[in-house]
Structure 1
Amino acid sequence: MTDTTSSSAPAEGRPPIQSFEQVLEKRESRVAEFDSTPKSPLRRLQHLLHANPTAVPAIVLALGVIGFSFIVGGRFLSSFNLSLIIQQVTIIGIIGIAQTLIVITAGIDLSVGAIMVLCSVVMGKLAVTLGVPAPLAFLAGLTVGGGCGAINGLLVTRLRLPPFIVTLGTWSIFFALNLWYSGSETLRSQDVAKAAPFLQVLGTPVDILGARFTYGSFFMLLLIAVVWYVLNRTALGRHIYAVGDDPAAAELSGIRTQRVLFKVYVAAGIVCALGAWALIGRIGSISPQAGQTANLDSITAVVIGGASLFGGRGSIVGTLIGALIVGVFRNGLALSGVDVLWQEFTVGILIIVAVALDQWIRKVSA
């Protein structure tokens, strides 16, 4: 039999050392160390912007206001002009809310403008042409908006079609229904004011310290506050972000992703109907040709506002800031005498820069 004791004499009162214990005594006793290399200033900035997606839009908005205040002068900073910018972005801001909800879920909705105009036509035809009480016509418009959103939601969730393709198709469908139902006729502002003044109530002006606002501007801010609360303080809001960030992981965690997506599209349709109410108040009349650029304008506001087209990242406040950036640059360039062509050129550059910056910021989580 092999002797398993150590050749050296054991200490008094201690059992003999076994051979396997001799191996353990020779083990590595150093503790693992993880050296953290200090982050470069650019890397720290990247992490900061990733944690605060509205930081860049806020900085761009501030620089735009400061820059045009020097270029244009007192005309730009006048109370009337600043309040005019807010009025001009009211429709974009409301439709941008609907677009933000879709973009957070990694989708995109090209039909928001068509839904808005269709709802405005439904409200106007019922209230002005058919004599339906204006509040009931308004509710009918909300129902149409929710129904249009439900159609988009069903096609995306049940048939698993890409949101871009779905909404591209429904944009054409809703626009065709709009022209058919309206007969391509515009309801004059005088007729709307006589038969259904309730539909124009959001266009009522309010003068505050030399600035002129409308009820529509305050309605936009109220709607933004409500949606912000839903996204940041409710379980539904957390589920929306989770579905946009990683739908597979969200489903494994117990979230009914398809149901959440359907609710988002229905909510976006209802918000578009509320935008239709604000649109009637803004322009006074009801035209089937109104809001032709609302689709692209809403996407512009969302992208410039810091939302990611890849989903899971974005905020309602950022969308408002994005809409204000577009309004500030268009207004400032117009007051500077710049042609409309170059105004759109500038907005296009802003979109490309915003998307490129989003790609760079997303590398933090890669």
Structure 2
Amino acid sequence: MTKAFGTWERMLLALLVLLLAGFGLGIDGFMSPYALADSTFNFSEKGLLALAMALLIMAGEIDLSIAATLSLCSLAMGFAMKAGAGLPLMLLAAFGTGAAAGALNGWLVTAYRLPAIVVTIGSLSLYRGIALVVLGDQAITGYPEALSVLGNGYLGDLVGLPWLIVPIEFAILLLMAVFVGVLLHRTVTGRRLVAIGANPIASRFSGIEVDRHRFALFVFAGLMAALAAVLLTGRIGSTRPNIALGWELDAVTMVILGGVAIEGGRGSIVGVLLAALLLGLFTFALGMANISGIVMAMIVGILLIVSMVLPRLVRGPRVLL
């Protein structure tokens, strides 16, 4: 199988083509340009979370609180708006909250040598709990129109080209994917992150400041959660206590399905982006077919398991000596 496709990314690309062909034949209107453009709203914010998660997992860490951080950033925007702040201050509140939430995770992991999975499970409950306690069953609405344009608009509307039906959210996802991809695959910092994930002890002895890089990754995850919060809040027009609930599972699924090794030290951003496209289009097609959300959640769980097992089957069984 590896020889047939060459790389994991080519396999994902082949699956993406099969998915488009299959659902295109089975669902009326699925392959129309407008439907495909609108399908990107289904995964663009999740894709942003997955990009940050990919860097963390490649460095041997994980952040299960990233979706809860998103909800906290949206809450900060809502309070800033209610206090009379304009859009720039609302954005500052979101990104400041995201950076602070990520910094707390990074500080606990690096300063106290705590497992990231334990720390972020705790902060997941903390951040999500704050949103639930503060909002209760209420929602904050009335956001400015400019925010709605970010979440729901198209590039063509901004540049005066009506035929350019590329959502702004998707364009931002692509730009961030290019940035993260260049950082990971074309810079010294990226090579150091991969080295940390492959062998953190050897990385320390080679002079890499492991804790500083890990801390920076958690802050970056918080900033990406803030960016996703800005887009999602603008798209739905409100801040709700259950916003982005369970999205950490979707982000992890995109990362692992994209070929990033769960043990760290291996993976590519191209694979993560293809996995985001594959998973997003798949769930969008299921929605067009009126499949329930519970069934979709089950399928995401199955994909997560398969994406962890399949690479090992492709590489063949390991022989223990």
TM, length-normalised to structure 2: 0.89
Question: By how many angstroms is 1:233 displaced?
Answer: 1.8
What corresponds to 1:349 in structure 2? Answer: 302
2:148 aligned partner: 200
Q: 2:132 aligns with which of 179, 193, 209?
A: 179
- Contact 2:42–2:284, Cα closer than 8 Å, also in 1: no
Q: CA deviation at 1:105?
A: 1.3
Change (3 A) 1:219 1:62: same
Note if 1:163 corresponds to 2:121.
Answer: no
The number of residues matched between the two structures is 314
In the TM superposition, residue 180 of structure 1 has moved relative to its aligned partner by 3.9
CA spacing shift, 1:84–1:238, aligned 2, 3 Å: same
- Describe the superposition over 1:220-272 as per-residue Cα deviations: whole angstroms up to 9, x where unpaired: 11111111111122211111111011111212221111111111111111111
More relative contact order, 1 or 2 (CA 8 Å, 6+ apart): 2
2:21 is aligned with 1:66: yes
Deviation, 1:181, is 4.2
Aligned pair 1:281/2:239, yes or no? no
Alignment check: 8 A CA contact 2:100 2:219 kept: yes
Partner of 1:141: 94
Structure number with larger C-alpha Rg: 1
Report the alpha carbon displacement of residue 93 of structure 1 after superposing the two structures with TM. 0.7
Q: Is 263-272 or 279-288 further displaced after alignment?
A: 279-288
Quote the residue 1:254 is aligned against.
Answer: 207
Which of 110, 122, 133 is 2:64 aligned to? Answer: 110
Distance in 2 (alpha carbons) for counterparts of 1:134 and 1:54: 39
Q: Which stretch shows the higher mean deviation, 316-325 or 298-307? A: 316-325
Paired residues of 1:149 and 1:267 also in contact (CA < 8 A): yes
CA distance in 1, matches of 2:313, 2:60: 18
In the superposition, relative to structure 1, how do residues 88 and 175 fare at CA in structure 2: closer, same or farther (>3 Å)? same
Question: What corresponds to 1:77 in structure 2?
Answer: 31
2:239 maps to 1:239: no
Does residue 286 of structure 2 align to residue 333 of structure 1? yes
Gaps of at least 5 residues in structure 1 are 1-41
State the 1:92 CA deviation.
0.9
> What's the CA shift for 1:282?
1.6
Q: CA RMSD in A?
A: 2.4
Check the 8 A contact 1:308/1:358 in 2, yes or no. no
Superposition TM-score, scaled by structure 1 size: 0.79
Counterpart code for 1:60: L
SS of equivalent to 1:231: helix
Give the secondary structure class of the aligned counterpart of 2:140.
Answer: coil
Alpha-carbon shift at residue 70 of structure 1 (Å): 2.4
Q: Which runs of 5+ in 2 are unaligned?
A: none
The residue identity in structure 1 corresponding to 2:224 is V
Instruction: Please tell me whether the aligned partners of residues 143 and 234 of structure 2 are also in contact (alpha carbons under 8 angstroms).
Output: no
1:22 corresponds to:
none
